Amino acid sequence: MTTRELERQSVVRERALSIPEGAPVELRTSGRRKVSGALLAAEDEAVRLHHNAGGTYIESVWLFDEIDSIRRLDRPRFPRLGLAGRLLAIVLSLTLCLPAAELDLRAKALQIPTGAPILLKTTARQTLRGRLNAVSDAGIAMQLVENNAIAERTVPFSEIKSLKQTGKPMHPGYVVLLTLGVLWLFGIIIGTFVNS
């Protein structure tokens, strides 16, 4: 028996001994057979199982040499997924709250550098794309293309519904959250294949 097989057998033994008697379990044998039933007893060398075999319930003994894995059926398959899901929900809800916590449009416009490309939506449902020229008390002065000519237009703050700088790189916080989300999803996929 190789070292790896001995380690696997030791892990299966520890797991079987930690499961209480009468708990529903599923054994995966070395022949890739799945056997489900109630655990009667876990001893040093074998597991006794009460299971359905062709319509009749029988008691069988499985040696740890024959068992590849054992798991409880009355527990969730990914117990840490609940905590990870809660943490992800908290992080996502905090990121959704960020735009609500932003300052008014004037402060937002002052944070955009002069000459940067912007997307402006008005309360009249008009979308304007152009470059920011200046920010004043009267509104936002922007340079845009109208009728194949470059024109300058000042939009008062009272008519602005939203303002966004376009063509800027993603915020580092979003990059971190996106990376963590992808890694978490990749871990779940790998965990699914490892546990199956």
Give the predicted TM-score (pTM) of the model: 0.39
Would 3-72 and 105-165 be classified into the same CATH topology? yes
Per residue in 129-145, pLDDT tens?
999 999 988 889 999 88
Query: What's residue 134's pLDDT?
Result: 92
Architecture of domain 105-165: Roll (2.30)
In tens, the pLDDT along 87-105 reads: 887 887 777 665 443 347 8
Of the candidate CATH numbers 3.40.50.10540, 2.30.30.100, 3.40.50.300, 2.60.120.10, the domain formed by 3-72 belongs to 2.30.30.100
Structural domain spans, the chain:
3-72, 79-99+170-195, 105-165
Residues of the chain with pLDDT under 50: 99-103
Distance (Å, whole) CA 49 – CA 86: 36
Instruction: Say which residues have a Cβ less than 8 Å from residue 161's Cβ, sequence separation at least 6.
Output: 121, 122, 123
Rounded Cα gap, residues 41 and 58, in angstroms:
14
pLDDT of 8: 85
Can you give the pLDDT at residue 102? 39
